[in-house]
Structure 1
Amino acid sequence: MIFRQFKVLPSRSRDERPYCWQLGLSYPLTSVKNCQMVSKRRKARNRNEEKTEEPDLKKQKPANDDDKQQLAKAEEEIKDEVKLPEVETQAKKSQELEKNAESVSEADIKDIPEAERQGEEHRSPEASEKPKSPDLDEKPEQKGDIKAGSSNEKGIEGLADGINQAPEPTAVTHQVLEDEENGIAKFEFDGVEYKFKERASVIEEREGRIEFRVVNNDNTKENLMVLTGLKNIFQKQLPKMPKEYIARLVYDRSHLSMAVVRKPLTVVGGITYRPFEKRQFAEIVFCAISSTEQVRGYGAHLMNHLKDYVRNTMNIKHFLTYADNYAIGYFKKQGFTKEITLEKSIWMGYIKDYEGGTLMQCTMLPRIRYLDAAKILLLQEAALRRKIRTISKSHIVRPGLTVFRDLKNIKPIDPMDIPGLKEAGWTPEMDELAQRPKRGPHYAAMQNILTELQNHAAAWPFLQPVNKEEVPDYYEFIKEPMDLSTMEVKLENNRYEKMENFIYDARLIFNNCRLYNGENTSYFKYANRLEKFFNSKVKEIPEYSHLVD
């Protein structure tokens, strides 16, 4: 049998007892303590509230028997009028407290809302009032939407719905939200609004989903985790590179790496480079983005971060790198060029030379912040357009022609009668020039074949003209030199009117190589491989297949 412990308290008046005792309930010791705390809090609150009760008629001293009788009647009337509508509710709560008395502690009392601890009947009138919801008792002019005497078919519920309804978004708000969803940034220049689409990587960085870290092998756990993630990406994206060689350079303390890290710690891609600060250049050794993340603009944004970081933290003005055939296009977009302006004495013997790679250089502009390059280009365009408007009227939009609305009665018109055409400087001779094709009929086919040649693995010896300093006697034997870059320039300048001329220059490259180099050399074999590939590409086009038979 379980005995509950009760505590006998000194005799008190009914009003001084805890509220739970006033209800005639018996409580174990823990519940008695709880009731005492509730009573103390109730008294403290009652001292701070304004006294709104009727004067206590018991404390008034009656002068005679008639006054006593009147006082007794007044007490009975007050008892009848005073109602405690929530006493029943409090009784139920007290019963629930009795059931859980053993599990209730003093610390738990602090978590009970103050309204429940103090009792609803002890609240002041101001505290017990609930916020009024809009109803029909309010004045019509306070509602704004309803006039006095007007009928509302929706009723009270419809009125509440109408008041709580948020204002409909305007067309401008819709446009702003649509621009934000599509990643479109905008700015104003000279009173004109310009918009440009931001890369997904820029948006992710601004939202804090990715970050760009510069790490090296400093034996810290987190940096080693990032370097290991970079090593794995480089080994996967560069399968022809020995894995041991990649690991050795990534963990080498003379190399630094900038990594794209998706939070919390997932490596998306990065660049490993080696700075030569005294010589004012840095060599980009590896550059790769995970194959699943290559459509979000991480590569371009990563290169912009690297340029700004290296230029601001080191005395470096140039980047050098050896790019394979698949990376040349990427590096061209990032400002790299095949034209090397740095003197060989600066970089020769310091950077790693790769067979089949193309040496490329990037010279950074000192006054450009590359992360803002898109906005800077738009500002330059806006400034240029403003300058053009001072000397031209091309920005003026004129109404369209109305003579062609009646399709049954179409007549030729004089071009000089078109509004604004004469003012723009148009002449009939310009029309004849505009109708001429910009490219020859064979341009597209020749461009595709030339691109395939440049991307072939055996094309690296023929991409650029032979350097006279490296091979002094070459031009003594070869009187009509040719290379793929020279063919590209001639093609862009429309100097190949016929496919025969294009094929002649291509064969000139192969014949020159075989003429200067012996049969046992690798260059001789490269020329044969590339010529075989070239012939197969020409034969794929039926109208040119007879030219290589």
Structure 2
Amino acid sequence: MTQERSECTEDEARKSNVDVQELKTESLPKEKVDGSSTCGIYVQSDTQAPPPCRQAKRRRTSDSAMNENVSETEHREEKERANAPESVADEFNVPPKREKPAVIEERTGLIQFRVVTNDNKPESLVILTGLKHIFMKQLPKMPREYITRLVLDRNHWSMAIVKRGLQVVGGITYRPFPHREFAEIVFCAISSSEQVKGYGSHLMNHLKDHVKDVSPIKHFLTYADNYAIGYFKKQGFSKDISLPRSVWVGYIKDYEGGTLMQCTMVPRVRYLEIHDFLATQKRMIQARISSFSRSHIVYPGLDVFKQGKKDEKRDITSQASKVEMIVQPNEVPGLRESGWTPEMDELSSRSKRGPHFAVMRHILVELNGHASAWPFVVPVNANDVPDYYTVITNPMDLSTMESKLENNQYETVDDLVKDAQLVFDNCKLYNPASSPYAKCAVKLEKFLYERLPQWKQAAGLAV
């Protein structure tokens, strides 16, 4: 009995010990237990666990105090969550977006973003060495000595994604020019095993916010190869360089075969919160549209389509069934509110083409396809024949006839034939009878009047 109670006491004490550790961890303001921080600053926690309890009385006292502290902490946190929105998105009731693994891993402390330079500190050199190996592996065409020289250059800074144990999985090396208000991104790479977690975009957002906070830099410039152009476009970079050449020429490194791209940062935008910002903006625009639009209102369906049972046999061809299925447009909910008027139905029921459009279209196709139609396809060029429009006051050609037909300017076939006759008469008036143009007009005119009765008869028109 004594042995069982002793084991139970030790087990419960160990459980109490773990719970107290978790309570102390939750009471920390921002820093992670493993030494990481959401802002990329490494903070080592020196919180130590209390010694194990071995007496039942002390265990009960510890459990009671712990439960009171936990209840008080949970009550305070619930009250804060209920009274204050956590973000702008919560304030405007924007539905949360599914977070990328990179965001979740940073929040849980699996990764952190470290800004380092060659300051001769051992930790910085370890991170820069790991970052150098990432660049060498992901950029095989770049000389190794060149990568090493730039990463370790004291004029360059690097933002690295670091896991526990200073394991580098990606990063960006850049050179700032504060007096020129721009920075050059020299290298950017993520480990191949980590490229599906959204590290690249999250890293760039961190870099933008960091550079804006610590310097007057407003622009990024970089030379991107063909494989990286798509990535940089997604991060807001463009091939259109708006920065004056006098600002950056001679300062950045020129790479053969690379494409120069620029990104101009928006001062008031927090890029790590860009999703909430855009979602809130979209919601406000939709709310503004809904204030004077009715497109968001959903009306119930028509009951007329629900009548009858599936097993009922109905003669849908009967007049009674047809009458039952008739629905007046003004009875459809929301149709009149959308701006519908009876005149709209009349306009939509009108035929866009005349009754003789098909036959007239066929006549024009036949005329254009004739071997003698080439002088009459387009209007006469006044530059080639300066006095033509002085002699011919009412010109006509086949392309003009096609335009008039498409615009419903011919009511009957005879109207079309009159314009065709005008083409022939103008040609014979301006050109001598022995000219090739006049001969073409005679041949095409003969062809038209020989085939016209057949075309009319095929269309059911009086000959």
TM-score by length of 2: 0.51
Residue 219 of structure 2 is aligned to residue 305 of structure 1: no
In the alignment, which residue of structure 2 is the partner of 1:243? 144
State whether residues 261 and 267 of structure 1, in contact with CA within 8 Å, keep that contact through their aligned partners in structure 2: yes
In the alignment, which residue of structure 1 is the partner of 2:287? 386
State whether residues 318 and 362 of structure 1, in contact with CA within 8 Å, keep that contact through their aligned partners in structure 2: yes
In the alignment, which residue of structure 1 is the partner of 2:103? 202
In the alignment, which residue of structure 1 is the partner of 2:246? 345
Structure 1 residues without counterparts, runs of 5 or longer: 1-85, 94-110, 117-126, 128-184, 433-549
Distance 1:344 1:244 in 2: 29
Structure 2 counterpart of 1:362, one-letter code? C
Distance 1:349 1:374 in 2: 37
State whether residues 281 and 317 of structure 1, in contact with CA within 8 Å, keep that contact through their aligned partners in structure 2: yes
Q: What RMSD over aligned residues (CA atoms) do the two structures have, in Å? A: 3.4
2:187 to 275, 286, 300: 286
Distance 1:236 1:429 in 2: 70
In the alignment, which residue of structure 2 is the partner of 1:269? 170
Kindly provide the CA deviation profile for residues 446-469 of structure 1, in whole angstroms up to 9, marking residues without a partner as x: xxxxxxxxxxxxxxxxxxxxxxxx
State whether residues 178 and 216 of structure 2, in contact with CA within 8 Å, keep that contact through their aligned partners in structure 1: yes
For residue 419 of structure 1, report the CA deviation from its aligned partner. Answer: 2.4
Residue 120 of structure 2 is aligned to residue 219 of structure 1: yes
Kindly provide the CA deviation profile for residues 445-493 of structure 1, in whole angstroms up to 9, marking residues without a partner as x: xxxxxxxxxxxxxxxxxxxxxxxxxxxxxxxxxxxxxxxxxxxxxxxxx
For residue 397 of structure 1, report the CA deviation from its aligned partner. Answer: 2.2
In the alignment, which residue of structure 1 is the partner of 2:278? 377
State whether residues 102 and 202 of structure 2, in contact with CA within 8 Å, keep that contact through their aligned partners in structure 1: yes
1:229 to 102, 105, 130: 130
Structure 2 residues without counterparts, runs of 5 or longer: 7-51, 61-86, 317-321, 350-463
For residue 431 of structure 1, report the CA deviation from its aligned partner. Answer: 10
Distance 1:431 1:240 in 2: 64
Residue 313 of structure 2 is aligned to residue 399 of structure 1: no
Distance 2:238 2:186 in 1: 17
In the alignment, which residue of structure 2 is the partner of 1:420? 334
Structure 1 counterpart of 2:257, one-letter code? G
Distance 1:374 1:265 in 2: 29
Structure 2 counterpart of 1:315, one-letter code? P
State whether residues 186 and 194 of structure 1, in contact with CA within 8 Å, keep that contact through their aligned partners in structure 2: no
Written as runs of structure 1 = structure 2, the 5 A alignment for 1:23-172 is: none
State whether residues 257 and 271 of structure 1, in contact with CA within 8 Å, keep that contact through their aligned partners in structure 2: yes
2:158 to 250, 253, 257: 257
Kindly provide the CA deviation profile for residues 496-535 of structure 1, in whole angstroms up to 9, marking residues without a partner as x: xxxxxxxxxxxxxxxxxxxxxxxxxxxxxxxxxxxxxxxx
Structure 2 counterpart of 1:305, one-letter code? H
Percentage of identical aligned residues: 59
Structure 2 counterpart of 1:260, one-letter code? I
1:114–1:386 distance in 2 versus 1, CA, 3 Å: closer
Structure 1 counterpart of 2:298, one-letter code? V
Written as runs of structure 1 = structure 2, the 5 A alignment for 1:13-24 is: none
State whether residues 175 and 183 of structure 2, in contact with CA within 8 Å, keep that contact through their aligned partners in structure 1: yes
Structure 2 counterpart of 1:380, one-letter code? Q
Distance 1:339 1:390 in 2: 38
State whether residues 186 and 195 of structure 1, in contact with CA within 8 Å, keep that contact through their aligned partners in structure 2: no
Q: 1:398 is paired with a residue of what secondary structure?
A: coil
Distance 1:430 1:345 in 2: 62
Kindly provide the CA deviation profile for residues 231-290 of structure 1, in whole angstroms up to 9, marking residues without a partner as x: 111111111111111111111111000001112311110000000010000000011111
Higher radius of gyration, 1 or 2:
1
Distance 2:196 2:299 in 1: 41
